[in-house]
């Protein structure tokens, strides 16, 4: 497996690109773009860890390229180092204003440039890790409550055909009491994994607390949504977790809500909660709407 990080060099001068490839090629994967337009295509297809960006380029200058990259969710966190012959204070100030993290003037000192690149890659890696830890449930890796509601509110505003499915493990206290808390944790993880595999990438799936989960997703119709929730229920019912050589099964109850035009996110999710309550009341291991 290739562990090297990838640096994208954006410069309209071929010679500059060659110099940078020579300097960085041993330690990094280096990709090059000779225009802003070419660069924007590359960043949408490749996993880029850091960008070295020239300012003076025909058509689209480096400032413009930087502004576009910073405005896109998929590229906004890539550290951008300007590397340019412009040395005046206003140009430097503008580079930071548009979102650059550093500014190196040509001709550059090779060791200094390498050190700056190394520093920014480290910093960016740490930020990603912190972001992950702040938004994920550490046991299951799915969204934690805070991130779930943050993303959920965006979906709620943007998607008309939105559904909520609230899921709670049946008689989970019994599982803990019978097999112990660590086994209960295994059950929770197996549930999160199973559901993750059955929902689209665009769905927002989070652990709201203990053994309560919620999925928000766009879906064609209520009937399709019911089928999906039923598929999830059956998949969980069929899970086989092992405890001391024996298979242990468990089930979940689910409540579905469909978004209505008059809904707030609270009234919407409350209906999912009420449907879940109905599922529990009428015998568990079922989906209610």
Residues with catalytic roles: 211
Among 6, 23, 172, 258, binds Mg ion (CB under 5 A): 172
Q: Does 136 bind ligand GH3 (CB under 6 A)?
A: no
Give the end-to-end CA distance of the chain in Å, rounded to a whole number.
Answer: 47
Q: Write the CB contacts of 4 (distance below 8 Å, at least 6 apart in sequence).
A: 27, 28, 29
- Determine the interface stretch with Mg ion among 129-137, 196-204, 205-213, 215-223 (rule: CB under 5 A): 205-213
Q: Which residue number places its CB atom closest to ligand GH3?
A: 184
8 A C-beta contact, residue 230 and residue 188: no
Beta strands in the chain (DSSP E): 6-10, 29-33, 50-53, 80-84, 102-105, 162-169, 204-209, 212-218, 241-243, 246-248, 252-258, 287-288
**Of the two residues 70 and 280, which places its CB atom closer to ligand GH3 in the complex?**
280
Binding mask 142-181 for ligand GH3 (x = CB under 6 A): --------------------------xxxxxx--x----x
Size of the site for Mg ion (CB under 5 A): 8
Q: Write the CB contacts of 81 (distance below 8 Å, at least 6 apart in sequence).
A: 50, 51, 52, 53, 100, 101, 102, 103, 104, 116, 117, 120
**Of the two residues 79 and 184, which places its CB atom closer to ligand GH3 in the complex?**
184
Cα(235)–Cα(85) distance, integer angstroms: 61
Cα(190)–Cα(140) distance, integer angstroms: 9
- CA-based nearest residue to 273, from 256, 285, 261, 258: 256
Beta bridge partners of 10: 33, 53
Binding mask 185-204 for ligand GH3 (x = CB under 6 A): x--x----------------
Among 38, 46, 56, 132, binds Mg ion (CB under 5 A): 56
- Determine the interface stretch with Mg ion among 7-15, 67-75, 225-233, 260-268 (rule: CB under 5 A): 7-15
**Of the two residues 55 and 117, which places its CB atom closer to Mg ion in the complex?**
55
| Angle, in degrees to the nearest 10, between helices 110-135 and 145-158 | 90
Q: Does 62 bind Mg ion (CB under 5 A)?
A: no
Among 211, 228, 236, 255, binds ligand GH3 (CB under 6 A): 211
Which residues between 211 and 250 bind Mg ion (CB under 5 A)?
A: 212
- By DSSP bridging, strand 252-258 and strand 287-288 are parallel
54 binds, among ligand GH3, Mg ion, none (CB under 5 to 8 A by kind): Mg ion
In the complex, the residues that contact ligand GH3 under the rule CB under 6 A are 168-173, 176, 181, 184-185, 188, 210-211, 280, 284
In the complex, the residues that contact Mg ion under the rule CB under 5 A are 12, 54, 56-57, 168-169, 172, 212
């Amino acid at each position: 497996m290739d562990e090297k990080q990838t640096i994208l060099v954006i410069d309209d001068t071929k010679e500059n690109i060659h110099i940078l490839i020579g300097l960085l090629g041993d330690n990094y994967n280096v990709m090059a773009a000779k225009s802003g337009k070419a660069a924007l295509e590359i960043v949408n297809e490749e996993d880029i860890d850091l960008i070295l960006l020239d300012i003076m380029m025909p058509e689209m200058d480096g400032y413009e390229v930087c502004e576009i990259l910073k405005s896109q969710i998929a590229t906004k966190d890539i550290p951008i180092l300007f590397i340019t012959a412009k040395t005046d204070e206003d140009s430097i100030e503008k580079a930071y204003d548009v979102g650059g993290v550093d500014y190196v003037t040509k001709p550059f000192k090779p060791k200094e440039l390498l050190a700056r690149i190394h520093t920014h890659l480290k910093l960016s890696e740490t930020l990603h890790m912190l972001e992950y830890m702040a938004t994920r449930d550490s046991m299951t890796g799915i969204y934690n409550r805070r991130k779930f509601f943050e993303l959920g509110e965006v979906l709620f505003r943007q998607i008309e055909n939105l559904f909520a499915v609230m899921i709670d493990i049946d008689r989970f206290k019994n599982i803990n009491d019978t097999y112990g808390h660590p086994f209960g944790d295994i059950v929770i993880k197996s549930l999160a994994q199973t559901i993750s595999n059955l929902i689209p990438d665009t769905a927002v799936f989070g652990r709201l607390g203990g053994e309560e989960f919620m999925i928000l997703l766009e879906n064609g119709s209520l009937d399709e949504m019911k089928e999906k929730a039923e598929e999830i229920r059956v998949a969980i019912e069929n899970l086989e977790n092992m405890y001391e050589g024996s298979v242990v099964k468990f089930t979940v109850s689910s409540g579905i809500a469909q978004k209505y035009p008059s809904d707030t996110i609270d009234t919407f999710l409350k209906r999912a909660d009420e449907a879940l309550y109905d599922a529990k009341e009428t015998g568990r291991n079922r989906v209610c709407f």
